[in-house]
Chains A and B, each alone.
Chain A
Amino acid sequence: MKLKQTKIIAAIAAVALIGCQTPGSQVAKQSHEQLVTATVCCKTIGEAKVRSLPMQDTDLELSVASQAFNFEDGKAFFEVFQLPPYVTPYSILIGSRAAGTTQDRSVMAPRITLLDGNFQPTRHFDERTLRQRGGVLERTVFINPDDHAERYLVLYGSPIESSHDNTIGVVGVTPIFVGPGMFIMPTGSEIKSSLHYSPTGKYFLHIEGLQQFAQK
């Protein structure tokens, strides 16, 4: 009886671990479809809603409810952050987290444009400048004295529909039942994994060099 209970608990745990996550390809496809029909917020980026750059580590999301705009390199959901007036050099780490199942994930590949006080672009970084760290695509933007005129950071997902395949080594555990007992056997396997670029996704910001503003 006790063994049966253990097996049921193990099965429930396995299902819970697998979870109900939507495959990344589905998320990317739906987001692209919704982007096509999304209403553009404004004629110029200067008319868009702006939020202050968060001074603390912050988790955010570009979703189908976010503002949409026709950028020169394509239509995209986006966010505009107002940078603080320049006082000292600082850096902004932007990291986009992959979501979905291990085999089928989606990620928003952020494109970043910096604008001056008149909403004129000063610098632009596309997805080719991103680096992959685990399930995160990231890049660091430095605001140096030469960049003192920059006042806004625009972040939007790459409009490119693409996917990247990879083989991933996965370590798991398999419960093995021997009579009334059970022991855990580590198992290793390789799985094919696809990463799909999506116009939407979760991301985080980490600011360094502006701690004095964060404390105020």
Chain B
Amino acid sequence: MLVKKLLVLFVALLVLSGCATVNRQAYNKSAALQIKKIVIAEPSDEETIGALMLAHPGTGFGLIGGLIAAADMQAKTTRVTAAIDPQKTQLRHRFITDLSLNLNKQGYETEVVQLDKGVDQKNVFSVLKEKTKSDAILVAYVRGSYIAAGPTTPYAPYVSVSVKAEAANDGKVLYEDTISWGFTFDNNSQAIHLPGGDNYRYDNIAAIESSPDQAREALLSGINAVTAQVTDDLKKN
């Protein structure tokens, strides 16, 4: 079980740091004039707010230390998730709702479709093609976290959204990218990164727990920034 947690956290760190390959396709608005209606998928899986430490001291002590680090970060993730409360925060829902409204203003017709729990990411597009009628299908994966570089540095907010839009008729990828906000990794990140969140820093998890409204506000600032970027990327004119 711990090994599984370690793997999950390792993958989370890899994805968050942008070291994982980021598939990207810029939106060619002139070539996508026929796109009038976009279906936006909203996953139903439970949200967690990650609490991650890039250079956790445990990782310097081999596999056992790595397992201890994984357990520590898992426990902190549970605490931060409980404090910030995803039911109140609803990062994913806010992103999708705001993006939908923004795309309406751009002249697109949109429909938000709730995905069933546990739908395999690979099948989302085919499932929605069968269920809906549209010109394009957009799927977004939203993650909110608090990240510290190491044990002596504060936790900073971080939001990462991976977006992919496919043409409904032929499955051509119209737009794909990962946009992040907040905690800034060194130059290796492959995500489009938006700076921000400097006013929200927490020395430890207890500090986040004692200011949940503020900690929530930080992540929502990130959602607003990322939504604006994706809207800009998909604008018609």
**B193 in contact (CB, < 8 A):** yes
Stretch at the interface among B55-63, B102-110, B124-132: B55-63
Q: Is the CB of A134 within 8 A of B147?
A: no
The distance in angstroms between the C-alpha atoms of A98 and B186, with both chains bound, is 12
Q: Is the CB of B57 within 8 A of A185?
A: yes
Residues of A close to B229: CB separation below 8 A: 131
Interface string of B166-187 (1 = CB under 8 A from A): 0000000000000000011111
Interface string of B205-237 (1 = CB under 8 A from A): 000000000000000000000000100000000
Q: Is the CB of A131 within 8 A of B192?
A: yes
Residues of A close to B156: CB separation below 8 A: 167, 169
Could you tell me which residues of chain B, from 43 to 86, have a CB within 8 Å of some CB in chain A? 53-57, 59-61
Could you tell me the dominant secondary structure of chain A's interface residues?
A: strand
The distance in angstroms between the C-alpha atoms of A158 and B147, with both chains bound, is 34
Q: Is the CB of A142 within 8 A of B192?
A: no
**A133 in contact (CB, < 8 A):** yes
Residues of B close to A189: CB separation below 8 A: 149-150, 152-153
Residues of A within 8 Å of B, CB-based: how many?
A: 32
The distance in angstroms between the C-alpha atoms of A131 and B193, with both chains bound, is 8
Contact (A166, B153) CB under 8 Å given A134-B18, A134-B190, A144-B31: no
Contact (A171, B28) CB under 8 Å given A133-B189, A183-B60, A190-B153: no
Q: Is the CB of A186 within 8 A of B149?
A: no
Residues of A close to B150: CB separation below 8 A: 171, 186-189
Residues of A close to B56: CB separation below 8 A: 186
Residues of A close to B186: CB separation below 8 A: 102, 168-171
Contact (A188, B55) CB under 8 Å given A142-B30, A169-B149, A171-B150: yes
The distance in angstroms between the C-alpha atoms of A11 and B133, with both chains bound, is 63
The distance in angstroms between the C-alpha atoms of A132 and B229, with both chains bound, is 12
**B191 in contact (CB, < 8 A):** yes
**A172 in contact (CB, < 8 A):** yes
Q: Is the CB of B28 within 8 A of A91?
A: yes
Residues of A close to B60: CB separation below 8 A: 183-186
Residues of A close to B147: CB separation below 8 A: 169
Could you tell me which residues of chain B, from 1 to 46, have a CB within 8 Å of some CB in chain A? 18, 26, 28, 30-31
The distance in angstroms between the C-alpha atoms of A170 and B149, with both chains bound, is 6
Contact (A132, B193) CB under 8 Å given A167-B198, A168-B186, A188-B151: yes
Q: Is the CB of B184 within 8 A of A168?
A: yes
The distance in angstroms between the C-alpha atoms of A135 and B190, with both chains bound, is 9
A93 → B minimal CB distance (Å): 8
Q: Is the CB of A167 within 8 A of B184?
A: yes
Q: Is the CB of B57 within 8 A of A171?
A: no
**A89 in contact (CB, < 8 A):** yes
A182 → B minimal CB distance (Å): 12
CB nearest to A98 among chain B residues: B187
The distance in angstroms between the C-alpha atoms of A164 and B184, with both chains bound, is 13
Contact (A188, B53) CB under 8 Å given A91-B28, A166-B184, A169-B183: yes
Contact (A190, B149) CB under 8 Å given A133-B192, A144-B31, A171-B186: yes
The distance in angstroms between the C-alpha atoms of A144 and B54, with both chains bound, is 43
Question: B-contacting residues of A (Cβ < 8 Å)?
Answer: 89, 91, 93, 98, 102, 131-135, 140, 142, 144, 146-147, 164, 166-172, 183-190, 193
CB-defined A-B contacts under 8 Å, sample of 27: A98-B187, A132-B192, A132-B193, A133-B191, A134-B185, A134-B188, A134-B193, A142-B28, A142-B30, A144-B31, A147-B30, A168-B184, A169-B149, A169-B185, A169-B186, A170-B149, A171-B55, A171-B150, A171-B186, A172-B55, A184-B60, A185-B60, A186-B59, A186-B60, A188-B151, A189-B149, A190-B149
- Give 6 new A-B contacts, CB below 8 A, not counting A144-B28, A187-B55, A188-B53: A89-B31, A144-B30, A170-B149, A186-B59, A189-B149, A189-B152
